[in-house]
Chains A and B, each alone.
Chain A
């Protein structure tokens, strides 16, 4: 009735073989059609390029940014014939930067801008990291999805920005 899907191990095995061990931090498939691959930051772009090319992946579902405390984790949710391959990498929170993937995936710019705006991750080589979702006049340097920023913080920062605007 329904055509059989590529089993989760097929992709998992291929990834295990094609990507050098020393690039990988962890590789697991907790459930069918879900693979989590964690790669080291310095090899992230290489691994991404290789994977996209080897597996002919074109679809990037979205990019998620998670504040882990000391580091910011950025997750790229790729789709390979129904399997979501979540490629994770981390970047230090003090100076969060990552290479852009917009040159590999033309559909990525908006997602990178979103992550940049909400978590302050700078994407090297992104053509235009301007404001996307936050309102104009948002206080610069206030990244609302970071862990230490509470809703109260945002509220007071916005009040302040409003005051300054009135004075100015």
Chain B
């Protein structure tokens, strides 16, 4: 049956993908047999660029690895450099950073569930979730003064403190977000048309999730209780009670539920942290020269485990700065999910891992528009489409 197989390109420009990425889908009839990823449409050469910038400059570069998990990347980087300096940041700074990390997770998760709702054509939920995401964005703006790239984390602490007024306002907003998310969760797990499109779609079995090194909500939706915040605590995560949310459905619906539950957990964490914030200074001075050494730093970004490796040679510039964003870790998993799925489910499965290709494609230096344009193999898709519908 080999001649029956047709290859369909999905992307790099495809309505289901908000960012450029290419999957070659080998299909037979309406079934996807295999998905071959093709990355690299978003290269900005950040790893190379980091080696010619100072540690302070790299703070801002790290923030720009990704617009959505900006706090996570900058936290991971700053935490690594602080370890090289063998310093502990003040407790209050730890709490402020933790609150920001969780706010970051909140807005990222709400964004994702909204996108997922849009992929299955449920625009009403999309609009509602993005409206509520605005609350979180406003909160972030209240604390940092910015909406996307915050420029808030510094080596040795944070730029500004959270005042009691701000804390009261944030707490109020968290309650709203939590109440609404609980309602959306209830609705999403009961509404028939959502269940039809998400239940049993994009299955990733626990053993596959482990073998393919998946991470973050994707892994937890496959019922594996693994979270960097719990396993390898950073900041003040070991002082704060929280649940590691899992779900045992292994499908897109479970991923949705995990995201909802993590939003609820995050609001609880933020409230607890605001109540238990230690007093004191919120930043310390650091030297420009970083001692030689190497460090592996990781955080739980909204999309999963984000790991940075920094090697210092004693100057003010790092010798090697390596970033592994969570999406790259989930790509083998998404290929697994796509194999044996229906073609109409491809958008929601792709969206299911919460992909963020800006994060993933960051490795090397590309000048200008070197990436070759993509040619739509029209004949292939038409042949495929004809065959698909003939069979019905």
Cα–Cα, bound, A111→B331 (Å): 11
A77 at the binding interface (Cβ < 8 Å): yes
**B333 / chain A contacts, CB cutoff of 8 Å:** 107
Q: A133 and B361 in contact (CB under 8 A), knowing A61-B305, A144-B48?
A: yes
Q: Is the CB of B298 within 8 A of A64?
A: no
A95 at the binding interface (Cβ < 8 Å): no
Leading 9 A-B pairs by shortest Cβ distance:
A107-B213, A82-B231, A62-B324, A133-B40, A144-B364, A107-B212, A82-B232, A64-B322, A135-B371
Kindly provide the distance from the CB of B202 to the nearest chain A CB, expressed in whole angstroms.
17
Residue among B83, B305, B367 facing the most chain A CB atoms (10 A cut-off): B367
Tally of chain A residues near chain B (CB < 8 A): 48
Q: Is the CB of B320 within 8 A of A144?
A: no
Kindly provide the distance from the CB of A83 to the nearest chain B CB, expressed in whole angstroms.
7
**A105 / chain B contacts, CB cutoff of 8 Å:** 211, 213
- Encode B357-391 as 1/0 by CB contact (under 8 A) with A: 00001011111001110000000000000000000
Q: Is the CB of B231 within 8 A of A81?
A: yes
Residue of A nearest to B330 (CB): A107
- Encode A65-82 as 1/0 by CB contact (under 8 A) with B: 011000000010101011
Candidates A66, A83, A108; contact of B311 at CB < 8 Å = A66
**A34 / chain B contacts, CB cutoff of 8 Å:** 295-296
- Encode A97-138 as 1/0 by CB contact (under 8 A) with B: 000000001111111001000100000000000011111111
Candidates B38, B211, B296; contact of A106 at CB < 8 Å = B211
Q: Is the CB of A154 within 8 A of B365?
A: yes
B309 at the binding interface (Cβ < 8 Å): yes
B residues contacting A by CB (< 8 A) are: 37-40, 43, 45, 47-49, 52, 83, 210-215, 226, 228, 230-233, 238-239, 241, 293-296, 298, 305, 307, 309, 311, 319-320, 322, 324, 328-329, 331-333, 361, 363-367, 370-372
Q: Can you list 11 A-B contacts (CB < 8 A)?
A: A30-B293, A62-B322, A66-B319, A110-B37, A110-B331, A111-B328, A133-B364, A134-B43, A135-B366, A144-B45, A151-B49
**B40 / chain A contacts, CB cutoff of 8 Å:** 131-135
Kindly provide the distance from the CB of B374 to the nearest chain A CB, expressed in whole angstroms.
10
**B211 / chain A contacts, CB cutoff of 8 Å:** 58, 105-107
Cα–Cα, bound, A85→B292 (Å): 20
Cα–Cα, bound, A77→B64 (Å): 24
Kindly provide the distance from the CB of B218 to the nearest chain A CB, expressed in whole angstroms.
12
Given contacts A61-B307, A134-B364, 14 further A-B contacts (CB under 8 A): A33-B232, A36-B294, A62-B309, A62-B329, A66-B319, A82-B231, A83-B232, A107-B214, A118-B363, A118-B364, A132-B38, A144-B48, A151-B49, A158-B367
A residues contacting B by CB (< 8 A) are: 1-2, 5, 30-31, 33-34, 36, 58-62, 64, 66-67, 75, 77, 79, 81-84, 86, 105-111, 114, 118, 131-138, 144-145, 151, 154-155, 158, 162
Q: Is the CB of A64 within 8 A of B43?
A: no
Q: A114 and B363 in contact (CB under 8 A), knowing A58-B211, A62-B322, A132-B40?
A: yes
Kindly provide the distance from the CB of B269 to the nearest chain A CB, expressed in whole angstroms.
13
Q: Is the CB of B329 within 8 A of A107?
A: yes
**B48 / chain A contacts, CB cutoff of 8 Å:** 144-145, 151, 154
Cα–Cα, bound, A111→B323 (Å): 12
Q: Is the CB of B366 within 8 A of A59?
A: no
**B45 / chain A contacts, CB cutoff of 8 Å:** 144, 151
Q: Is the CB of A133 within 8 A of B212?
A: no
Residue of A nearest to B214 (CB): A107
Cα–Cα, bound, A61→B238 (Å): 22
Q: Is the CB of A110 within 8 A of B332?
A: yes
Cα–Cα, bound, A120→B270 (Å): 45
Q: Is the CB of B371 within 8 A of A61?
A: no
Q: Is the CB of A61 within 8 A of B232?
A: no
Candidates B43, B215, B320; contact of A66 at CB < 8 Å = B320
Kindly provide the distance from the CB of A96 to the nearest chain B CB, expressed in whole angstroms.
16
Kindly provide the distance from the CB of B88 to the nearest chain A CB, expressed in whole angstroms.
12
